[in-house]
Amino acid sequence: MAKPITVVVTGAAGQIAYSLLYQLAAGSVFGEDQPIDLRLLDIPPMMGVLEGVIFKVQGEALDKFAKKDVKVLVVGNPANTNALICSHYAPSIPKENFTAMTRLDQNRAQAALASRIGVSVDKVKNVIIWGNHSSTQYPDAAHATVDKDCVAHPVSKAINDDAWLNGEFVETIQKRGAAVIAARKMSSAMSAAKAAGDHMRDWWFGTKSNQFVSMGVVSDGSYGIPKDVVFSLPVTIKDKKYTIVQVNLYLPLLKEFHPI
């Protein structure tokens, strides 16, 4: 039997954690044969003035108690900023071990493209989310492909509607979170939990050949993004380490970046 790994879920009483825990317990994230030592943490209600430093406290705790190869996924918004804060207060842990979740946006973008083309979501690959998990993000289908008859075709050709791809599609993904909250009066917890599971599963097992995923990672200066800010970029993953994909891109309509 494999050696157990410790999995810590903070905010464990929240909606997203509630939907995530079954994935962890069922083996959907780290594999059916991987034992886990599941630790659930939460805090008493805090005064509003303290809410901005919760991730400072978590960073300090990680720095003091966690293994130095710990892999951290920040979901709580603003996820990019919170990941940066958490990393800052855990200086003994490599910065590349801290990530922010934009997989929810990637999943939404894939679903929108698949619906437009008329295929199942798993047929659409290599959609990129640039930037933040916020309305400033840029969902990019320029390098996305769709599998038809066992052949990968460019999504742009399959849809054949640049106006939709550069307009309605982008705006819909950028505003999807707000639309869900407006409709449900709460966030899309199950979708977010599914995305968190997807993110960690790929980080654990690696990405498939010729496929990349979007993760909020510490910038190395690629694509002109300032170094050391957390920014969603396309990555491939092997042996639990991600590599930023260097694709030859021109980003239409993206007039300014909002790194943190």
The structural domains of the chain, with segments of one domain joined by +, span 1-65, 102-256
The answer to whether the beta carbons of residues 90 and 59 sit under 8 Å apart is yes
Counting every residue written for the chain, the total comes to 260
DSSP code string of 98-152: EEE--HHHHHHHHHHHHHHHTS-GGGEE--EEEB-SSTT-EEE-TT-EEEETTEE
Hey, what's the torsion of the CAs at 16, 22, 28, 32, to 10 degrees? 150
Q: Is 80 annotated in some ligand binding site? A: no
Taking the CA atoms of 130, 259, 13 and 176 in sequence, report the sign of the dihedral they define. Answer: negative
Q: Which CATH number does 1-65 carry?
A: 3.40.50.720
Q: Is 77 annotated in some ligand binding site? A: yes
The pLDDT tens digits for 209-243 are 889 999 999 999 999 999 999 999 999 999 999 99
Q: Is 59 annotated in some ligand binding site? A: no
- The token pair that represents 119 in the structure block: 């295929």
Instruction: Determine which of 80-94, 119-133, 157-171, 184-198 has the lowest per-residue pLDDT on average.
Output: 184-198
The average confidence (pLDDT) of the chain is 86
CATH architecture of 102-256: Alpha-Beta Complex (3.90)
What is the pTM for the complete model shown?
A: 0.82
Active-site amino acid positions = 133
What is the CA angle 239-245-249, rounded to 5?
A: 170
Instruction: Determine which of 35-44, 127-136, 206-215 has the lowest per-residue pLDDT on average.
Output: 35-44
